[in-house]
Every structure is written in C-alpha cells, then in structure tokens.
A and B are shown apart, each in its own frame.
Chain A
Amino acid sequence: MKTKRFVYLALLAAMAIALNLFESAFIGSFAYGIRIGLANIIALITMRFLGVREMLAVNALRVIIGNLLRGLLFAPSFFIGAGGVILSSLVLVILNRTASTVVFTSVLSSLAHSAGQLLVVILLYHQPGMAVLLPYLMLGSIGAGILTGVTAALALKRIEPLRLNG
C-alpha cells in the first residue's frame, strides 16, 4: 500500500505545517521565546506510525514550507528553526532505536529543539552570553515536551486501527 503510505505522509506534513502556523498566529511564544512546539506532536506520531525516514521528511517540509508561507525562507528565524528541528530530529532518530516511551522521547526531543535553536542564535548573533537562557529554556522544554508527548500518545492510541498492514 505505497499510495496509502504516501497519502498519510502528505496529510501529516500538512498537519505539521498547519499546527506550526496556528501556533505562531494564536499562541506565539512565552518568556525567553519558549514555544509549545505543537508540530512536534506530528513528528512523534509520524515516527511511530510511519517510520524514521517519514518523520525526517515531515520535519524538513515543516521548516521549509512553514517559513516559505510566512515569507521568511532563509531569514534568521529560518536558520534558528532549522537548528532546532535538526537537533530534535537527531534525538528522535537515536531514541527510536531504544525502547524509550513516547512521552520521554518527546521531552528529550523538545530539549534538543531548544538547545539547537539557542546554538544557532549564539552563532548567528555572536552572543555566547545567551547561554544563560539555557536553564529557562530547559524548564520550558520539559513542560512542553510532556504536553506534546501525552498528546501524541493519545493520538497514536486512536489512530492505531488505521495502521498499514506491512
């Protein structure tokens, strides 16, 4: 069922982009630029439901199309976002090889997302002093990671019947 798989992938990518735009428009960021990262829910679902390669595709599409739609492709925010997504995707790939649970995976990938963004900010603006934000970002990421992880776990339970046979 190659077509079905491709349709799921396209749907998940569209949902990730929509959640990203929705969050930017209606929720925005809290202190220190902390965001919930709703699109991470889709990354987790995609990895558990379709696989690692599909998750990487959804994440790449999310960053590129998401920034394209906001007219910010290759703007600083694009590189900051990309830094976060690359590092969080890496953590997802690594944890997928272990027996980690959805919520734990979500928390660690959320932490990696913040760390990746902060790293790009520090390099882009030559501001090593920004590293003092790390503890606050970590606390925000743990909270956000639990939230997105529980949401992803709930969603995965519901979509289980849709799973492709083989």
Chain B
Amino acid sequence: MTQPWIRKREIVLIAVLAAAALTAAIFFALPKQHSGVTVRIEQAGKLVQTFDPAVDAVYHIEGSCGGLDVEVKNGQWHVINEQCPNHICAEMGWRTAEDVIPVTCMPNEIVIYVGERE
C-alpha cells in the first residue's frame, strides 16, 4: 500500500466540518436569557450540575447505575435515556420551577431539585 495516511484536501474537509461543529457548539452554548432560578443536580450527595431552566439544553449525569440525561426545554426539565431498572425518574415527567418534589433516580443516586431563586 503506497497510499498516504491522509491527504491535504481530506484534512481541509475535516477542518471545515470541525469548524462548522465548533461554531454550532459555541452558538448553542451561548446563554440566552436568565430566569433567576437555578436547578441543582446531586449525585451521591454531591452537587454535580446546576442549570438555568430558561436555557434549553441536555445534561448528561453519570450515576451509580449508568446515569441519565436531563433535557431542559421551555423552562421545564425531565429525565431521558435513564440507565436504571425502574424508570421512575423518567415517569415523573416534565418539572417546572413551581414543583416542590424533586426528580429522584434512586438506582443512580441522582436528585434534581430547584435551588436558588432570585
């Protein structure tokens, strides 16, 4: 095989794709507006993530049972892709800043609750 590992124009194409992805990633990561509410996520008693429910996003949380994702959309959040045997966390459905009961995934030792309010 006399073929090179990679060619110049292939590097250019990959660089263009990477630049496009980076631009999109930065765009999505830009803070949009603030709700004054901070939601906290604890795993095994430790704070692992906070988020503003006004910012649409998906957070991956590692847990004792494989973890889960928290999807935030239109000021609400819910659990998806949960790696737990009972799926109670996902069945709790969409939560808002008004909800008092935290979303809990016992197998993963993850608790998602409303923290500070401004």
Give chain A's interface residues, CB within 8 Å of chain B: 31-33, 48, 99-104, 107, 111, 121, 125, 127, 129-130, 132-136, 138-139, 142, 149-150, 153, 156-157, 160
Contacts and interface: CB of A to CB of B under 8 A. Distances in A.
B24 A135 contact: yes
Nearest to A99: B3
Nearest to B7: A101
User: Which secondary structure dominates chain A's binding surface?
Assistant: helix
A99 B4 CA distance: 11
Contacts of B14: 104, 107, 142
Interface string B13-42: 110011011111100100000000000000
B64 interface: no
Contacts of B10: 100-101, 103-104
A142 B18 contact: yes
Interface residues on B, range: 20 to 34
Contact of A160 (B1, B21, B23, B56): B1
Contact of B25 (A139, A149, A156): A139
A121 B1 contact: no
A135 B21 contact: yes
B17 A142 contact: yes
Given A125-B81, A135-B28, A139-B21, A156 B56 contact: no
A101 B1 CA distance: 11
A95 to B, nearest CB: 10
Interface string B82-111: 000000000000000000000000000000
B27 to A, nearest CB: 8
A121 B57 contact: no
A132 B5 contact: no
Contacts of B1: 48, 156-157, 160
Given A125-B80, A136-B25, A33 B60 contact: yes
A135 B81 contact: no
B17 A138 contact: yes
Interface centre among B5, B28, B71 (most CB of A within 10 A): B5
B51 to A, nearest CB: 14
A32 B25 CA distance: 13
A33 B81 CA distance: 11
B58 A132 contact: yes
A129 B21 contact: no
Contact of A139 (B3, B6, B22, B73): B22
